Homo-oligomer: A and B are copies of this chain.
Amino acid sequence: MNEAEVPPVTAAILVIGDEILSGRTKDKNIGHIAERLTEVGIDLKEVRVVPDEEDEIVAALNALRVKFDYVFTTGGIGPTHDDITADAVAKAFGVGIDVDPRARDMLLEYIAEKDLNEARLRMARIPFGASLVVNPVSKAPGFNIGNVYVMAGVPRIMHAMLEAIIPTLRTGVPMLSRTVLANAKEGDIAAPLGDIAKRNRDVIIGSYPFLGETGPNTNIVVRSRSEARVEAVAALVAEMLVAVGAAKVS
């Protein structure tokens, strides 16, 4: 199959955590997951951040899991009272939940049996029918049920879990991108850029203004699953920039 025949694979992220909504913790997971999914050809189409409230988690999860091929959650799988993600996911799927012997064994690789108190055992509570996602950092596993992947919120642990998950996913043809630095103000090139976009609807052209050292500047990003099309349209953009008198640096 060539890239046009492979159906796109879509995903959403559900970030669970009061600490993100209060601004106390600045999320670093969304950007990382977005980048990795893009690299393997999965299109991230939506992100939601919800508080540590069961009803909100259940509602968001059920909205996202029917709409996208995969949903990745982060946060709320620790040992404390505010860690309610596993229970909320079980509720969303309408399944039971209990301490999973496989998960308990994983915890015992890291935690001495005498320290495996009731709170820590909460981290082994896994919805019925889920498979486990290994956690090479601190052992307490994530899990996968249906098309939902439940990961830790601590970035280092989440990164490791995501790398364990990715090889198991159906992936698509990666979306490729080429960035052309316009050396022009966005408003000076918007019309010819819009013309290029109109004539090349099979590629996605984004225009991203930023304040550079020499004043307002713009990055033009051309995206497609076809390398040939990315290169061809990036070349059109570069030619346009020369034609309107903007220097081209790519």
Contact = CB atoms under 8 A, between A and B. Distances in A.
A117 interface: yes
Interface stretch (A38-46, A91-99, A126-134, A161-169): A38-46
Contacts of A43: 21
Contact of A45 (B21, B30, B119, B209): B21
A213 to B, nearest CB: 15
A173 to B, nearest CB: 15
List the number of copies, as a whole number: 2
Interface in A1-55: 15, 18-27, 30-38, 43-52
A223 interface: yes
A16 to B, nearest CB: 11
A46 to B, nearest CB: 6
Given A47-B49, A81-B198, A120-B190, 10 more contacts: A20-B31, A20-B47, A22-B223, A23-B34, A24-B177, A30-B49, A46-B49, A78-B209, A81-B205, A83-B207
6 contacts: A20-B34, A20-B47, A30-B49, A46-B48, A47-B49, A81-B193
Interface of A: 15, 18-27, 30-38, 43-52, 56, 78-83, 111, 115, 117-120, 122-123, 138, 154, 156, 175, 177, 186-188, 190-191, 193-194, 197-198, 204-211, 216, 221, 223
